[in-house]
Homo-oligomer: A and B are copies of this chain.
Amino acid sequence: MTVTLADVAARARVSPATVSRVLNGNYPVAASTRERVLRAVDELDYVLNGPASSLAAATSDLVGILVNDIADPFFGIMAGAAQTAIGEGASGRAGGEKLAVVCNTGGSPERELTYLTLLQRQRAAAVVLTGGALEDPAHIAAMSAKLARLADAGTTVVLCGRPPMSGGAVTATLTFDNRGGGRRLAEHLITLGHRRIGYVAGPAERTTTRHRLEGHRAALAAVSAAGGADGGAGTGPVPDDQDRLTIHGPYDRRSGYDATLELLRRDPDLTAIVAANDTVALGACAAVRDLGLRIPEDVSVAGFDDLPFSVDAVPALTTVRLPLHEAGVRAGRLAMGKEAPPPGGIATIGAELMARESTAPPRKL
């Protein structure tokens, strides 16, 4: 029924071994012979049997890219970039094409592990893990173990937009400067004069959430430490119990909407809201408006990530730009071994403040 390598060999009047060699292009073959084989392949419409060749060669051309939420452009942009970087470089049709493939964990630790097992089962050539990680110790241990096993089965492991992991299983790590971004964003607001700032954080237990929040609080703490001197420039002191001004929730607009309503209820004097990311910020904006308040005159709002739609928000959203595309491309190249890992295996990717119209000095009281 299905045509095999042997059929091609027969038609080209060579041995199966020769056909294999021209198909893999990793061994010298006479040009005329190659020609003949290629023609036979075409005529027979032959397609290599992946499982068979993976079995024999003990490797496959599968590369897995794990994302937390495929419907979120944050991941879509990185994954698309990585996939492109992995897929290209193979000319024409058959070559050493890798099958770059994205797996959506939905943020579930079980699914993350399951996908890794499935990928291990397929003997994947490489695995790229994107986005923030869960901080649960049990899960971290399970992940480390799994990655270690993948690594010594020959799978390259790359982390993209995720903090470094201990244990030598990871080939390269590209980590975002979420802490620095959070800090710069807070400093921007502080400079504008804000002191009472509400924070709609991402899901608890996630590294991204924690780092952004830490940066934010560090900047505020610096103001408090400076005391009356600097504090006087803004609208009063920095509130003591930051926890009361922080609400955790998922990375969606609903969370931003609900949390903002609650935050403004807890403290109607808030002059600014910082959101976990741009999507959440959109929800926050909607809530502020529904309360009859203006942005930024009454309340400033800021996001994180600088997704494509953020510049078109009204008013244009102040946010922190992460070079998602570049990071994805680099992760893809790293996974393919097309690029040397950074010194120490870890590279930190900068986060740049994008000050736009959704933030302004607080209204004079």
Contacts and interface: CB of A to CB of B under 8 A. Distances in A.
A123 B53 CA distance: 12
Interface stretch (A72-80, A259-267, A346-354): A72-80
A54 B101 CA distance: 18
Interface in A60-77: 60-62, 64, 69-73, 75-77
Contacts of A279: 308-309
B101 A103 contact: yes
A123 B121 CA distance: 15
20 contacts: A2-B153, A49-B55, A50-B51, A50-B118, A50-B121, A51-B53, A51-B60, A55-B55, A71-B76, A71-B79, A72-B76, A83-B103, A84-B104, A87-B114, A97-B114, A99-B118, A101-B102, A101-B103, A253-B308, A313-B313
A285 interface: yes
Contacts of A55: 49, 51-52, 55
Interface in A80-121: 80, 83-84, 87, 93-94, 97, 99-104, 106, 111, 114-115, 117-121
A70 B83 contact: yes
A320 interface: no
Given A45-B149, A70-B76, 14 more contacts: A47-B149, A49-B121, A49-B123, A50-B51, A50-B121, A52-B55, A72-B73, A72-B76, A73-B73, A87-B114, A99-B122, A100-B103, A101-B103, A253-B308
A48 interface: yes
B60 A70 contact: no
